[in-house]
């Protein structure tokens, strides 16, 4: 229920941002157009944002015949988590990472890069996919996918504002300073909304992943390994669309320029320390 409330608040907040941008660019008529656009985006994001993200990453669906080891691993973990079997995807990228998406557990998908399959051992990969299934179980996937889609739309509109400016109700150009402010502040505001919803849920997904897999040390080892490899192996799609970084198990952004504003993950060292404490105390039984 709490995630439904967060989803509603997020959509309302981003709708408000759309209206502010529309008002700054086109007065009352701009606000009305922005409101209609925001409502359409809310509808689209709820029903289709997962498909958009998967297409953005050129993810290819696999099954028991095309990727038997990986698919059967996800199937076993989903059964342990008492979840419906999600759709399973592979992304042909060297950067090691993974994410989950979808509007609910009945319409969920998990995706992993081919790089993560090469870098991690089966035990470590199992911990990572258990982490992603925890996001599905906690219904984090709806809010993360919607926020990624809508924050990207806000960034696009803000950049549109910079190039085309806006006019008031009488058709006169607005102050260009307003357009510049919208361009700078709207993506920042969208990024801050994402950061507010991402950090705590990663700790919870780590805990849940350790419980589902029954192996917190493996997930801790996977996080350390992904952190090392990801530094030197960029994920081009995420660099081009930094709003999607908060969906990943590890922040893949280089931190250059505006991309650094979308840092949504807690420190890897703290995540590993918490998992190792779970291993030490044995507090991870399903």
The residues carrying an active-site annotation are 132
Which residues make beta-bridge pairs with 110?
88, 100
Q: If DSSP states are collapsed to H, E and C, what string results for the chain?
A: CHHHHHHHHHHHHHHHHHHHHHHHHHHHHHHHHHHHHHHHHHHHHHHHHHHHHHHHCCCEEECCCCCHHHHHHHHHHHHHCCCCCCEEEEECCCCCCEEEEECCHHHEEEEEEHHHHHHCCHHHHHHHHHHHHHHHHCCHHHHHHHHHHHHHHHHHHHHHHHHHCCECCCCCECCHHHHHHHHHHHHHHHHHHHHHHHHHHHHHHHHHHHHHHCCHHHHHHHHHHHHHHHHHCCCHHHHHCHHHHHHECCCCCCCCHHHHHHCCCCCHHHHHHHHHHHHHHCCCCC
Contacts of 12 (CB under 8 A, 6+ apart): none
Which residues make beta-bridge pairs with 108?
102
State the residue for tokens 């007065």.
Answer: 27
State the residue for tokens 């944002």.
Answer: 49
């Amino acid at each position: 229920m709490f995630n439904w409330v967060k989803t509603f608040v997020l959509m309302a907040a981003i709708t408000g941002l759309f209206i502010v941008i529309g008002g700054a660019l086109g007065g009352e008529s701009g606000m009305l157009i922005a409101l209609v656009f925001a409502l359409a985006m809310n509808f689209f994001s709820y029903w289709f944002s997962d498909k958009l993200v998967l297409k953005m990453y050129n993810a290819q669906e696999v099954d028991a015949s095309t990727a038997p080891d990986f698919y059967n691993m996800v199937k076993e973990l989903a059964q342990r988590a008492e979840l419906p079997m999600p759709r399973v995807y592979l992304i042909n990228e060297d950067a090691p990472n993974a994410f989950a998406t979808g509007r609910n557990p009945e319409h969920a998908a998990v995706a992993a890069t081919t790089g993560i399959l090469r870098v991690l051992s089966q035990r470590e990969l199992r911990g990572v996919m258990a982490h992603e299934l925890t996001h599905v179980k906690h219904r984090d996937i709806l809010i993360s996918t919607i926020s990624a889609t809508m924050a990207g739309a806000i960034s696009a509109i803000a950049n549109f504002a910079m190039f085309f400016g806006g006019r008031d109700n009488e058709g006169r150009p607005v102050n260009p300073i307003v357009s510049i402010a919208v361009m700078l502040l709207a993506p920042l505001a969208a990024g801050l909304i994402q950061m507010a919803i991402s950090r705590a849920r990663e700790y919870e997904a780590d805990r849940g992943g350790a419980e589902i897999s029954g192996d917190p040390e493996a997930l801790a080892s996977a996080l350390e390994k992904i952190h090392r490899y990801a530094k030197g192996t960029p994920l081009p799609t995420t660099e081009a669309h930094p709003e999607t970084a908060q969906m990943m198990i590890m922040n893949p952004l280089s931190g250059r320029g505006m991309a650094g504003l979308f840092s949504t993950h807690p420190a890897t060292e703290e995540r590993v320390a918490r998992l190792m404490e779970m291993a030490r105390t044995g507090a991870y039984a399903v």
